[in-house]
Structure 1
Amino acid sequence: MITEEVARLTGREVVEARRLSGGDTAAAFAARLDDGTEVFAKSAPPSMPGATAAEAASLRWLAEPGAVPVPEVLGASEDVLVTEHVAAASPTARAAEELGRGLARLHDAGAPAHGSAPPGGPADAWIGLAPMRNEPEQDWPAFFARHRVQPYVRRAVDSGAIGTESARVLDRVCERLPELAGPAEPPSRLHGDLWSGNVHWGREAAWLIDPAAHGGHRETDLAMLHLFGCPQLDRVVATYQEVRPLSDGWRERIALHQLFPLLVHAVLFGGGYGAQAARAAERALRSH
């Protein structure tokens, strides 16, 4: 049982545990230990080997002083992760502004290469229920094409989520990535799955949870916030710009960076996500 694993990992007795709703990759629980500490625990299914190790390594890597707070990892095993529990609250303007500044500082902490995994993290990681390969490349266009677009286009075509004509449009994007990508930038330290559900609003700050961290282009995190929405996003972007201004034309490149999450959704859920990815590819091609 997960309570027994939580007790083993923390060295404390679990006196209360309750199942939490939400999430599409794991069973999640809130637990109270015998010293009164509240913890959060999640169990990864057998179909996702390495998911716990990848998430634990991601959280530790993102825990950059002065950046965005992330839950402390209290213990991790092959299939269970235990972190500190952060009580939820409503978004505030102050928290949104600090999120923007902290995200800029996090990105500025850097990474060894575009495509690098977090220290101690596996190259074969996960984004939601989809496998995700972290493989260092010499530049961002090569990494994004080889490891974030092309593998998911192939899977989406095989599943029928994307037709051959849409696949050709996405292939053209990959061919033109060096000119579409904008000014070259050093690799940033990315959350990697920064949709609004992975921004957890606490009582005094916004926290980052459920990361798929890797080295990449900082515009990717911001593009995902724009794709699925984020409370007070204008404030987040404005204060991000105060700390680390984005390169000219970044708004025109949002569609390019959204290709990865859209293709992941096409592979996992089908429906209109394949068509949405094709439209984003067409916008990216028209933007240059």
Structure 2
Amino acid sequence: MQRVSESVIQVIINSWRTGTNKQYDLAWQKWVIWCKSRGYNPKHTSEVDMLAYLDLLIENGKSYSVINTHKSMLIQTLKLFNNSWCENPRFIARFMKGVFNKCPPKPKCDSTWDVSVVLRYLSALMPLESLGLKLLTYKLVALLALSNAPRSQTLVALKLSNMNILKGKVEFMFTNLLKTSRDTKFKMVPSHFENESLCVMHTLLFYVSKTENNRLSGQLLISHCTYKAVTTSTVARWLKDVLAASGINDKFKAHSFRSASVSAAFMHGCTLQEILRTADWSSAKNFKKFYLRDVEQNTSDYSRAVFGDN
């Protein structure tokens, strides 16, 4: 294998998304510390050394997901430093199968909350004209999270400049890269229902109108205090606040909106193909592992499967 230049290495590193880079950077730092404590060169090592390191992670009680992250980072990174054994490691794949059997990955919760409980709370936040900006923001964020099963990153990426108001619907296009973005463009279409108390589109347009004269950001979701752009952590906190106000057990975090939404959609008959498209999954693997249930699949409208007949 020919030596790869530093500039090429940097370009390859840029191929990883921000979240992956953060995970890999932390894993690499731990690897470097382990190697130096044993007098090894962290950039040039053997498969046996890597197996010893991964085995230590097992001894330290790390989950399969954490161990797999370290494995992926090391294989991809060590290739760049001309470790030829990384092209065809003899034991790594078999080792990881053993790790999977010993401590298989599990969802954080073996159940999810009842979507109807949160919908009842949200529907009670009416009329919209009576709501302060904080409650209006909470309602919009929660409705978007339930109707499209987005990640917090996706909600933060919604921009007014990419919003198109069409006949009977609103559509958002994404110009920046999301977690699973490929070459094709991804879009979000907030749902429109006759029942305005749960109509995502009606709530969204009212929110845009109410914040129009004060907003200091082109991002759709802005702080209800400063009117500036917000981060994913802020959106996640809002979603947790909605769960608390709805009376949902505090063991559930913001990301549980995604699992609750897709589980409800599938249980009410939404097709697997529509769920994967709406939730922006490239394959059914994760959904089948964590959410799949034996129900009849005959509905093609994701949001109506979640919200019922609203």
Question: TM-score, structure 1 length as denominator?
Answer: 0.26
Richer in helix (by share): 2
Larger relative CO (CA 8 A, sep 6+): 1 or 2? 1
